[in-house]
Amino acid sequence: MRLILFIILIVFMLPLWIVGVIIYTWRMRRLCVAQNISGTANEPFGARLMMHIAGTRPDDAAYKIAGYLPSYNKLVRFLLVDTTWLASKLSGYTGSMLDYPGKRPSSLLTMLSHRSDFFDRSINKAITRTENPVKQIVVLGSGYDTRCYDLPEGMDIQCFEVDMAPTLAAKKKAVQLAAVPHDHVAFVETDFNQETWMEALLAAGFNPDLTTYILWEGVTMYLVEGTVRDTLKLVATLAKGSVLGVDYFSTGIIEGHPPYEKLSKNMHKAIKYYGEKLQFGIPTGESYSEGLESLLKEVGLSLTEFEYVGSEKDKPPPWYFFAQVERLE
Ligand SMILES: C[S@@+](CC[C@H](N)C(=O)[O-])C[C@H]1O[C@@H](n2cnc3c(N)ncnc32)[C@H](O)[C@@H]1O
């Protein structure tokens, strides 16, 4: 009943939605893609925005910065986000896509909510644990991530947001214009495929001796293999107890092996729309985590949490994985 009412309200607001989609698409092509500002960063950001307005996963900072991004602005936020909020509020519908943490096994529709939940839990545990809590958070490929702006009150944690210059500048500007407190955040420009992010981090005041959480969410699939390996090697040099939260695709989906041919083709096409490219995946093996574990073994890191989208009974079987990796020794 709630879903039906939600759909009726959305249909009623369709003209506003259509105008919103047209402006959003124009801004995406003309302001983001044309200026090398990440378009894909808007996908998880949009999902977090929708969970926020549904009241399932509060994210005030995301809502605030959505008024000042190249893709969104206050008008687009009103036309797409506020209208959905109204429909959700009036109908009481918060299910499925807008749900958080959502049902398990997750699905293509709920994978971003599952992903947010996995990393939220992982970060929360690392910053609140009594023994050796993390003191620094580094968000590699930060896009429009807002976790640094939503830390529990009174926590003295230094944050570093790392991304390529155009996306980082757009994010920083939005954070400033939205007056989101950011004194504890350093914005660090780098291109993982060109240079070592550690040097840029050190120059920005990163302390390699402090226990650190590295959040590497929604990024590995856009990189080349050497960069992923180099990053894992660098994480292995961080202080003992440091944690890496990372997600990755299977080699099967990246290379379009059977039975992923069709899904792989559609995904490559969707990402190409943003002028970006999917290029890296990890072989899964029977346990799904086999390929990652052998990569980690090479550098001396350990896998401590592992989840995936979907279930082994699915056709095609799981291809999207979430991992928590630690430097234990
Ligand atoms: C899909 S977005 C994910 C953003 C954010 N982590 C999130 O989950 O909302 C991928 C991000 O990685 C960044 N990125 C991709 N390749 C990069 C590279 N070679 N160097 C630095 N950042 C990169 C993009 O600019 C973009 O912000």
CATH of the domain at 115: 3.40.50.150
Q: Is the pLDDT of residue 9 over 90?
A: yes
Q: State the average pLDDT for the chain.
A: 95
Residue 26 is predicted with a pLDDT of 96
Residue 285 lies in a domain: yes
pLDDT at 306: 98
Ligand 1 centre distance from Cα of residue 291 (Å): 23
DSSP 223-288: S-HHHHHHHHHHHTTSPTT-EEEEEEEBHHHHHT-TT-HHHHHHHHHHHHTTT------B---TTS
Whether residue 91 sits in one domain with residue 117? no
Find all residues with CB under 8 Å of 2, minimum gap 6, and list them. Answer: 91, 92, 93, 95
Does the structure show a pLDDT above 80 at 258? yes
What distance in angstroms lies between residue 14's CA and the mean position of ligand 1's atoms? Answer: 31
**Rounded CA separation 83/69 (Å):** 19
Residue 59 in any domain: the answer is: yes
- Domain extent, residue 29, equals 2-95
Q: Quick one: average pLDDT of 25-48?
A: 95
Write the residue with the smallest CA distance to atom 20 of ligand 1: 191
Terminal CA-CA length for the chain: 54
User: Does the beta carbon of 145 lie inside 6 Å of ligand 1?
Assistant: yes
pLDDT score of 286 more than 90: no
Regarding the beta carbon of 117 and ligand 1, being less than 6 Å apart is answered no
- pLDDT tens digits, one per residue of 170-179: 999 999 999 9
Ligand 1 centroid, distance to 248 Cα (angstroms): 13
Output the pLDDT for position 237: 96
Give the Å distance between the CA of 92 and the centre of ligand 1: 34
Specify which residues 138 forms β-bridges with: 160, 214
71 & 21 share domain: yes
- Evaluate: CB of 136 within 6 angstroms of ligand 1: no
Minimum CA distance residue for ligand 1 atom 26 = 143
Q: How many domains does the chain have?
A: 2
CA of 145 from ligand 1 middle (Å) equals: 10
Cα separations in angstroms, 253 against 150, 217, 249, 307, 319: 33, 18, 7, 17, 6
